[in-house]
Structure 1
């Protein structure tokens, strides 16, 4: 595949190959992933199959519409949205022709680093505010996956997500690295106004519903909240299969 053939939405930007290769590397430890039920990095666990199905359907929808940015949220805490984000990112990364960047934009309770067994990550607040360049914040896992993790909660999350600086940071990531997909792990949609604040920066959403947790009324409330932002689908997840997130204070 040539550089011009790569990408779901218009090919690879000049210089992105070198920029991607120059990212500092992160290593995912299989035992830590297995402990958190992050199974989609390989084919040894049959639980990877639903994530591969989700990946294929999502990539097809994005390709047809020229979209890249997908937010992953839930109605309430404990539904496994971070679990889905991590597994979906690893599933996409198994596609040789696809680059995926996973960003932890749950600024109140960041948990993507923990789910992936990563320590010592930087503050994503500095990336969104323009104090840190994407090349200094992102960490590459293998040839096709990059992580934008977060080490600490942010005091003013909705305000930060709504600032023009966040839009500029996402644009810099796209321009510099030409990812095929950017997956954003978001907070629960009905727990705070953060998802509402980030909606204008996204192309589409995936909603994770927790079995025995999420109600039809909550799903309808989320659909109303999302407004004109397209909902790619509702994913039914058994929350006990993934990391259980605490409720917001």
Structure 2
């Protein structure tokens, strides 16, 4: 009996010692090479310093000028990691709040976070937006991708090794219907599965003037509200924040184009 018990104990130890290997064989991790290949398919782009200066893309080369956007990037990452959020919408109460300029600057800030993969998609389908700020020409738009007419592999662009960008060549017909469709949700899920970004930043249309956001924001984890100093009224910001809170979690509010500079905040906050 003692010999039998000893044999049982020995077998149990051997089984327990091998079990992690068996679990690994049963559920193999996705090889890193396959991800590298997916990202490598995206056509890379670069930005000239002259265009960056013209379009206020102060985050391109890092340094103190990039401070506000690096700080925003870090705050986004802290909350995203703590809450398990990946899809983050950038929304403004009205147009000209600096939302797209902020999204463009975050491309370069997140690009310096080399251990993370970030996807920035221009889903303000009623205008060229991000492509214009970046000075890029593109064949087609994110509306084609969301409708399954074009693959993101053929349409998307890549900055460096770790930021993928989706752009628009111009206004898309039926933007609201596209954003609110079940097809759009399916495509976003596919992008997340295929490219496995750590963060997806979605540049959305303004809340005022269209219903594009109201059927779409159920597809995101949270939203950041960007307002314009001295132009966005307290009432507009309050109404926009309440509307957002009914649709998704509000991560925070960012004030753009503030006249307060380095002497007030250490970095040039509000430079977007």
Paired residues in the alignment total 230
Q: After TM superposition, give the deviation of residue 121 of structure 1 in Å.
A: 4.1
Alignment partner of 2:97: what SS?
coil
Tell me, yes or no, if the aligned pair for 2:218 and 2:247 is still in contact at 8 Å.
no
Q: After TM superposition, give the deviation of residue 228 of structure 1 in Å.
A: 4.6
RMSD over aligned Cα, in angstroms?
Answer: 1.7
Equivalent residue runs for 1:1-249 within 5 Å: 14=31, 15-44=34-63, 46-226=64-244, 227-238=246-257, 242=272
Runs (5+) with no aligned partner, structure 1: 1-11, 243-249
Q: After TM superposition, give the deviation of residue 98 of structure 1 in Å.
A: 1.1
Q: Deviations over 1:120-144 (max 9, x none)?
A: 3422111000111121111111111
**Cα distance between partner residues in 2 of 1:165 and 1:152:** 21
Tell me, yes or no, if the aligned pair for 1:89 and 1:183 is still in contact at 8 Å.
no
Q: How has the CA–CA distance of structure 1 residues 149 and 178 changed in structure 2, closer, same or farther, with 3 Å as cutoff?
A: same
Tell me, yes or no, if the aligned pair for 1:134 and 1:172 is still in contact at 8 Å.
no
**Cα distance between partner residues in 2 of 1:235 and 1:69:** 18
Tell me, yes or no, if the aligned pair for 1:211 and 1:239 is still in contact at 8 Å.
yes
Alignment partner of 1:159: what SS?
helix
Alignment partner of 1:41: what SS?
coil
TM-score with structure 1 setting the length: 0.87
Q: After TM superposition, give the deviation of residue 24 of structure 1 in Å.
A: 1.7
Q: After TM superposition, give the deviation of residue 199 of structure 1 in Å.
A: 0.5
- Structure 1 or 2, whichever has the larger Rg, is 2
Tell me, yes or no, if the aligned pair for 2:62 and 2:109 is still in contact at 8 Å.
no
Greater relative contact order, per chain length (Cα 8 Å cut-off, separation 6+): 1
Q: Deviations over 1:20-44 (max 9, x none)?
A: 1222222222211111011112224
Tell me, yes or no, if the aligned pair for 2:227 and 2:256 is still in contact at 8 Å.
yes
**Cα distance between partner residues in 2 of 1:119 and 1:92:** 22
**Cα distance between partner residues in 2 of 1:239 and 1:150:** 28
